[in-house]
């Protein structure tokens, strides 16, 4: 949910569509939230495939970018949520146990403690199941990118096996669910199917020229069918199997989608939501739970959640990311050097 796509407007819009669906499911007429999160996963997988298996970005730089974007906002939110859990301004007081706090900070809350679900509603962290999935996937894909060469195995085949394994676990757990308090379909080895599949397809398209270009109909048709898979409650299995795989195909072939579709996703409103999406996703949760606990009216909670997320992006997330990446220092250095360079040219 956190990788910049500012140079590709329609991918900003893809992310914007994802967060709009999540917000509308929380504060609108309901529905669309699962599709929205799946859109995030598919885009993240595509971008991770691009960085790790096409551009071969050094792992140090890869993790520096991920950390600078995610950790400051994530940990600040946890600090606020931890404080409010004890203050109990809209729900029963909850003294967060130390092991639960540590596992939350380390993106392990969907697994530990196994005595209480991440969706128990004791404090406002239920939405972080998806961030756990993303972080685990980043670690896994980075490890695969680094280790595959040492093992003498082509990375695309390890990626393909990973996709098959995720799909197999979704099918297996449907019949034989594992233990643990959090639902199995929120566990990374299952929920990461669309993300891993998207990274896999991106790597295959890079190494196999026959897959690089696709017909204009591929992206819109697969997106439409995926939306049906996520909304068709009569066959819930589609939302954890076929739906994520179709989204992986759609985002990978978005560059060859009809111009009208790309222009729609590149609209200013969707792009804005996409650029601010991480802060919006993180901070809307408190407003959503305030609505669930009858403290705020639904639409008012939605407006408040979006406003807080936008302020958090502009005043904290984006400045902190730029500072940690040295962008501000580089800008000041370039500005200071400009007069000297100008004098040398006179």
pLDDT for position 64: 94
Q: What was the pLDDT predicted at 151?
A: 58
Quick one: pLDDT at residue 90?
A: 61
3-state DSSP assignment of residue 93 = coil
| Residue 216 DSSP SS3 | coil
Cβ 196 vs Cβ 137: under 8 Å: yes
DSSP 125: -
Residue owning tokens 């600078």: 68
Question: Residue 260 contacts by C-beta under 8 Å, 6 or more apart in sequence?
Answer: none
pLDDT at residue 5, rounded to an integer: 44
Other residues' Cβ atoms within 10 Å of the Cβ of residue 284: 24
Tell me the Cα Rg of the chain: 21
Mean pLDDT, consecutive 10-residue stretches, the chain (346 aa), reads: 63 98 91 95 97 94 94 97 79 89 97 95 94 97 84 83 98 95 95 98 95 96 98 93 98 97 97 98 95 92 97 98 79 45 36
**Which pLDDT value is given to residue 203?**
96
C-alpha pair distances (Å), 289 with each of 81, 125, 205: 12, 10, 42
Fill in the DSSP letter of residue 28.
S
Is residue 137 helix, strand or coil? helix
Distance CA 269, CA 23 (A): 14
Beta carbons within 8 Å of 229's beta carbon, 6+ residues apart? 238, 239, 242, 243, 246
Residue 89: other Cβ atoms inside 10 A: 11
Is the separation of the CB atoms in 23 and 288 below 8 Å?
no
Rounded to the nearest 10°, the torsion over CA 37, 42, 44, 49 is 170
Q: Note the pTM of the prediction, 2 decimals.
A: 0.91
């Amino acid at each position: 949910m956190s990788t910049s796509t500012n140079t590709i407007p329609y991918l900003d819009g893809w992310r914007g569509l994802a967060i709009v669906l999540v917000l509308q499911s929380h504060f609108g007429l309901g529905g669309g939230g699962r599709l929205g999160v799946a859109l995030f996963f598919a885009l993240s997988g595509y971008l991770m495939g691009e960085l790790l298996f096409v551009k071969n970005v050094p792992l140090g730089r890869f993790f520096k970018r991920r950390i600078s974007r995610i950790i400051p906002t994530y940990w600040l939110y946890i600090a606020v949520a931890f404080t409010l859990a004890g203050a109990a301004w809209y729900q029963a007081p909850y003294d967060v146990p130390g092991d639960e706090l540590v596992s939350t900070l380390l993106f392990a809350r969907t697994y530990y403690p196994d005595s209480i679900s991440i969706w128990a509603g004791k404090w406002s962290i239920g939405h972080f199941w998806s961030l756990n999935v993303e972080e685990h996937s980043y670690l896994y894909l980075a490890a695969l990118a680094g280790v595959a060469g040492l093992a003498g195995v082509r990375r695309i085949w390890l990626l393909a096996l990973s996709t098959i394994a995720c799909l197999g676990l979704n099918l297996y757990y449907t019949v034989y669910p594992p233990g643990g308090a959090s639902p199995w379909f929120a566990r990374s080895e299952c929920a990461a199917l669309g993300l891993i599949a998207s990274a896999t397809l991106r790597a295959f398209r890079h190494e196999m020229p026959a897959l690089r270009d696709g017909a204009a109909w591929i992206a819109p048709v697969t997106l439409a069918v995926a939306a049906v898979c996520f909304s068709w409650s009569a066959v819930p299995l589609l939302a954890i199997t076929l739906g994520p795989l179709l989204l992986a195909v759609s985002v990978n072939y978005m560059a060859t989608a009809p111009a009208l579709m790309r222009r729609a996703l590149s609209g200013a409103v969707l792009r804005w939501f996409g650029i601010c999406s991480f802060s919006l996703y993180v901070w809307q949760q408190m407003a959503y739970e305030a609505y669930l606990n009858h403290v705020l009216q639904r639409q008012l909670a939605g407006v408040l959640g979006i406003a807080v997320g936008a302020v958090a992006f502009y005043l904290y997330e984006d400045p902190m990311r730029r500072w940690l990446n040295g962008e501000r220092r580089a800008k000041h250095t370039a500005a200071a050097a400009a007069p000297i360079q100008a004098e040398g040219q006179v």
